[in-house]
Amino acid sequence: MSVSSMHSAAPSSNSRFSNEPIPQPESTEMNQTTRDPEKSPSPVPEIIEEQETAEPQPPRPVLPCHNVPGLWFVKLALDNMGTLNCDFQIDQETALKWNIGQTNNEDAVITDFHSVQVPRKRLSLQICSFSKQLVQGVIETLGTDQTPATIASAIFGLEQKWPNQGQLIVKINPDTANTKTWLPNRLGLNNAPVQIEDFVQEGQNVVQFIQLSGMSDNLFALCASERND
């Protein structure tokens, strides 16, 4: 076959196979908006811990028994015959500090070689009787800015004045195991005070002054100090 015949045999432009590029379909993209699914409420409720605010503690009350030296009570005697009750309290702190209600009066102190018995601190509690006018004069002289120890020292330094013998009975803590009674013939001797530290107890205490006559110029006081013996 000649070249011309080969050329004539070439496919015409009307052939079903065209030399033009086959058109490509346009690319279509899905324009979708991405949305977060709605957050469903949690089936478990949120727990919020409430912090409790600690309430401030009230200040510790100051009792007369905390004052050593000091006056644990001061009372005017009755103008007429009768019974005068004088209450005072001893808290646990004071009882432990001054060995109140304890049978052992010594502490064991361990040294390098052996144990030594050291006496514990002891309290002196004295019921005193003074002239009302003398005590009032001392208080007016001292003023109101003095410490309990200063006031107690000034009053305790006064000369005591007890009622005449036979006119007064003193009783401490009646109806308890620590009760003690001082009869009229034992009071007023040499104007000596009455020692009561061996008959007091932790908690509430009471001293009864059973007056067999009026004592308008007398004042009773309970004076506390550290024992020196």
CA distances from 21 to 12, 66, 161 (A): 17, 115, 141
Cis peptide before 56 (omega within 30 of 0): no
pLDDT in tens, 5-43: 444 444 444 444 445 554 555 554 545 555 555 555 556
Closest CA to 129 of 178, 185, 190, 81: 190
Residue 14 has a pLDDT of 47
**Please, which pLDDT band fits residue 2 given cuts at 50, 70 and 90?**
very low
pLDDT in tens, 42-78: 565 565 566 667 677 777 788 999 999 999 999 999 9
Average pLDDT, the chain: 80
Residue 155 has a pLDDT of 94
Residue 11 has a pLDDT of 46
Residue 90 has a pLDDT of 97
Residue 5 has a pLDDT of 44
pLDDT in tens, 142-180: 988 899 999 999 999 999 999 998 999 999 999 999 899
Contact 170, 210 (CB under 8 A): yes
| Higher-pLDDT residue of 47, 195 | 195
In this prediction, residues 113-120 reach a mean pLDDT of 60
Phi/psi for 83 (5° steps) reads -115, 125
Write the DSSP assignment of the chain as a string of letters: --HHHHHHTS--TTSSS-SSPPPPPPP----PPP-PPPPPPPSSPPP-PPPPPPPPPPPPPPPGGG-SSEEEEEEEPPSSSEEEEEEEEE-HHHHHHTTTT-S--EEEEE-SSSEEEEEPP-EEEEEEEEEHHHHHHHHHHH-SS--HHHHHHHHHTSPP-PPPTTSEEEEESTTSTT-EEE-GGGSSGGG--EE-GGG--SEEEEEEEEESS--TTEEEEEEEEE---
CA–CA–CA angle 145, 148, 154 (5° rounding): 90
Least confident range from 80-89, 94-103, 105-114, 135-144: namely 105-114
Residue 30 has a pLDDT of 47
Contact 195, 126 (CB under 8 A): yes
Contact 68, 58 (CB under 8 A): no
